[in-house]
Amino acid sequence: MTTDTLDLQDMQAAAERACELMRVLANPDRLLICCQLSQQEMCVGELEASLGIVQPTLSQQLTVLRNADLVATRREGKNIFYQLTSTSALAVMNTLFQQFCTTPTTRSKK
């Protein structure tokens, strides 16, 4: 921790932003999507094939991620590509990967 202290209003604003990020990530489908997009940009068809999330659900969850400004899109022909652009979300995904997705021998034991 740093020696800088936040005043109460700044702490409350930071807590609100953190809670909003965690609320968006607290859905298994959205978490899987962010995990994939933390590794590389992908189009909807690639996400559907790799995650097994059916199109209507996938589109709905991508909309939530777009509305929360966690992902950005680009169009190439008929394909829409998504990438994780939120540095906060990427930091959370990296931590979650380290804590839950590595083998027990490489993970620190608590």
User: Where are the chain's structural domains?
Assistant: 11-99
pTM: 0.85
Segment holding 82, helix H or strand E:
strand 79-84
At residue 109, the pLDDT reads 53
Question: What percent of the chain has pLDDT above 90?
Answer: 85
Q: What would the two tokens of residue 92 be?
A: 């959370």
- Are 94 and 38 within 8 A, CB to CB? yes
Could you report the per-residue pLDDT of 71-80, keeping only the tens digit for each? 999 999 999 9
List residues bridging with 79 in a β-sheet: 76
Question: What percent of the chain has pLDDT above 70?
Answer: 91
- Whose tokens are 């540095």? That residue is 87
- On the question of pLDDT at 108 being above 80, the answer is no
Q: Which fold has domain 11-99?
A: Arc Repressor Mutant, subunit A (1.10.10)
At residue 106, the pLDDT reads 53
For residues 44-61, average pLDDT: 96
Q: What is the mean pLDDT of the chain?
A: 92
At residue 76, the pLDDT reads 95
